[in-house]
Structure 1
Amino acid sequence: MTAPKTSPRLEIRDLVRSFDGKRVVDNVSLSIAPGQVTCLLGPSGCGKSTTLRMIAGVEMQDSGTIHVDGALICDTVFRVPPERRSIGLMFQDFALFPHLSVGENVAFGLKGAGTDRKARAHTLLDRVGLAHFIDEFPHQLSGGEQQRVALARALAPSPRIMLMDEPFSGLDNRLRDGIRDETLDLLKEEGAGVLLVTHEPEEAMRMADEIALMRAGRIVQRGAPYTIYNAPADRDAMAFFSDINIVRATARGALADTPFGPFLAPGVADGTELEIVFRPQHVGIDFDRGGSGPLPTERAGTPARGIVERARFMGSESLIEFRMDHDGQMLKATVPNVFLPEKGRPLWLTVRRDRCFIFPREGDNPSRTVS
């Protein structure tokens, strides 16, 4: 029976996997459409690779189901073998066969006559710009070239799903961006549903249509890269993507009073300990005028004075660290290009109200954008 067109290419429902009594994957659910790239993002040890292995069929779940194009391929009773799941795999070590030529590596998993297999291998190698290496061996290729051969080999059987586990981590930084873009273009052309595992936020932002942020075995937030970055579920989600500054406050009368002025905290009970969280790039810097700073504004709030502790040029921006007058707290600010004020210089800081979030210091209450 043909699956309906609306069926996701891959759907996993409530996957659970435990080791030694500890849940390393805890009720994980995801769906991926044809041609969609979803990134499973999180720190090492959060359960990303275990989830991938269960989908591939090399690890059995304790509970939950896995579906491809609407058809069940695995639960705790029924199990389609890994080789019949139409799933391609790519790992960081490429795992090319050293005794086979580049063309033979790509054709390895293909069925049919030798001429058909070689033609398919040549077509894919041509698409990754390596057709002229078809008779060479893997050790004669660079790391980036080996990665592209591994991609061609994984795509050769036309899998419906591509699973990628940190596939670019072994590449030189100078090569990564170009190879990521080439890989993404080819995957989109093939129409496979892609699940990419990484611990690098930049890679997830660059490649994914959707990011699933994973922590301690659970998916804590899902959404488009823009949404995940600009509407974080909690402080840890925000901190995973960039440096953050934290100013602590206590709710009083639906307000949180800080050295940067009051922040609105509607619906928060009086006495609740709060954290006002913002990124360094959303900190404004102004000059000290004989002990005075700029006037407060609705957008930037009240300025607070800090003393420059250190300043460093980072290439495209400068990072300045301040020790704040009001409590000695360290805050960071970044500005484009070169700005390197000397240590000990007083400057005034403001914070973009529309780029701040307020979180309870403890608990799992949702975040609020504050003004």
Structure 2
Amino acid sequence: MDGANLTTARLEIRDLCRDFGGRPVVRGVSLSLQAGQVTGLLGPSGCGKSTTLRIIAGVDQQTSGEVWIDGQQVAGAGVFVPPEKRQIGLMFQDFALFPHLSVADNVAFGLKGSRTEKRLRVRELLEKVGLARFIDSFPHELSGGEQQRVALARALAPRPSIMLMDEPFSGLDNRLRDGIRDETLGILKEEGAAVLLVTHEPEEAMRMADEIALMRDGQIVQSGAPYNIYNAPVDLNAAAFFSDVNVITGVVEGALTDTAFGQFLAPGVPDGAKVDIVIRPQHLKIDFDRGGKGPSPTHDHGVWARALVDRARFIGKESLVDFRMEGDGSILTASVPSVFLPQPGTPLWIAIRRDRCFVFRHSDKPGPDAPSP
């Protein structure tokens, strides 16, 4: 697999499909990764992420489609390169260290060469992950975070061209997770491998990945840079997967939808059809009631609507306030930095950021990762 030119993708999968007993689990998945790129394969449990990863690794075989590494086909019709010849490193949630082997022997397990060469590579990697002092220790003597770093060193030891990571941080304590993620990302970037990170946590994908491929029901429904996929979701389910959302449902007349917050454009939607207007809690703005009157409409926030506080709670970095709208009794939630805890029943006025709203054609059957409107 040497000699690939600079424009050749390090990893490319084309129209990958996998059926189990006639049931499609992976449906037409295509991805391309360059050397040094981290792509997050993100989606809810059971959407086909891990199956895709296993096919790339060669421990499962696709029903149809192809896998290419550095311009050479390793899986497809009549082609199957065994896992040990694909130059792929693997990291899993359970670390899978050998308990009877020392840290050094765990890291050296997949290495070839003389004993001296192996020892030098092991020490180099253990120094990178800050564990050189544990070179002769055993896995049971290490913490979960330290074991994870040993597993990373072992996966990187043979200098794989591709690193596949399946929920590798989910078994770690929340207090350690962010730091270990950042350390791992730095080491992966230094090594220059193309990385495919399978995760069900949007925050993890956004923290680590250069690109995110959002997967649902065996298909990639949207892909792009984290900023773009967060701020331009393809549908309600995609928006709701990345954060809590408020959903206002309205009926279209003349490409416009009337709401308590004024009219919203719904181009291309026929009259009489429903749309969902989606807004994240941090993009609601709150103002005080002034004798039953609120602020005047503005270009950025449109019309203000009166609501009563239903519940307020402080959750550390912010406060969440549930409002019951006076017009239809629906509940909308706003997040407010720091402490803001108005009493239930307090009348306040709220508006929504027009430039942060998403308007989607209404679906009566939202997916499992979306809220009910």
Q: Aligning the two structures, in what range does the TM-score lie when normalised by the shorter sequence? A: over 0.9
- What SS class does the counterpart of residue 151 from structure 1 fall into? helix
Equivalent pair of 1:162/1:194 in contact (CA under 8 Å): yes
Please state whether the residue corresponding to 1:300 is helix, strand or coil.
coil
Could you tell me which residue of structure 2 aligns to residue 102 of structure 1?
103
Structure 2 partner of 1:156 = 157
Distance 2:306 2:123 in 1: 64
Cα deviation, residue 68, structure 1: 0.4
Alignment of 1:214-293 (within 5 A): 214-293=215-294
Q: Supply the AA of the counterpart residue of 1:339.
A: F
* Pairing 1:1-371 to 2, within 5 Å after superposition: 2-362=3-363
Could you tell me how far 1:79 is from its partner in structure 2? 0.6
Distance 1:349 1:232 in 2: 24
Greater Cα offset, 2-11 or 313-322: 2-11
Deviations 1:280-324 (A, max 9, x none): 000000111111111111110111111111101011110000111
Q: Distance in 2 between matches of 1:267 and 1:221?
A: 21
Mapped to 2, the partners of 1:77 and 1:306 lie a distance apart of 64
Higher deviation after alignment, 250-259 or 226-235: 250-259
Alignment-mate amino acid for residue 120 of structure 1: R
Given that 1:62 and 1:76 are in contact with CA atoms closer than 8 Å, whether structure 2 keeps it comes out as: no
> How far apart are residue 363 of structure 1 and its match?
9.2
| Deviation string, structure 1 residues 124-163 (Cα, Å, up to 9, x no partner) | 0001000010000000000000000000000000000000
Take 2:129 and 2:268, find their aligned partners in 1: how far apart are those partners? Answer: 55
Q: Give SS of 2:249's match.
A: strand
Secondary structure, in 3 states, of the residue corresponding to 1:5? coil
TM-score (norm 2): 0.96
Aligned counterparts of 2:40 and 2:77: Cα–Cα separation in 1: 26
Relative to structure 2, which stretch is displaced further, 258-267 or 91-100? 258-267
Measured in 2, the distance between the counterparts of 1:243 and 1:363 equals: 19
1:264 offset after TM fit, Å?
A: 1.6
Q: Deviations over 1:154-179 (max 9, x none)?
A: 00000000000000000000101110
Q: Return 5+ residue gaps in structure 2 as ranges.
A: 366-373
Aligned residue pair count: 364
8 Å contact 1:61–1:76 — kept in the other structure?
Answer: no
TM-score (norm 1): 0.97
User: Aligned partners of 2:61 and 2:266: how far apart in 1?
Assistant: 46
* 2:368 counterpart residue number: none
Report % sequence identity.
68
Deviates more, 1:203-212 or 1:285-294: 285-294
1:362, distance to aligned residue in structure 2 (A): 3.0
Cα shift at 1:266: 2.4
CA distance in 2 between partners of 1:123 and 1:261 (Å): 62
Question: Deviation of residue 257 (structure 1)?
Answer: 0.7
Write the distance in 2 (CA, Å) between the matches of 1:185 and 1:95.
Answer: 22
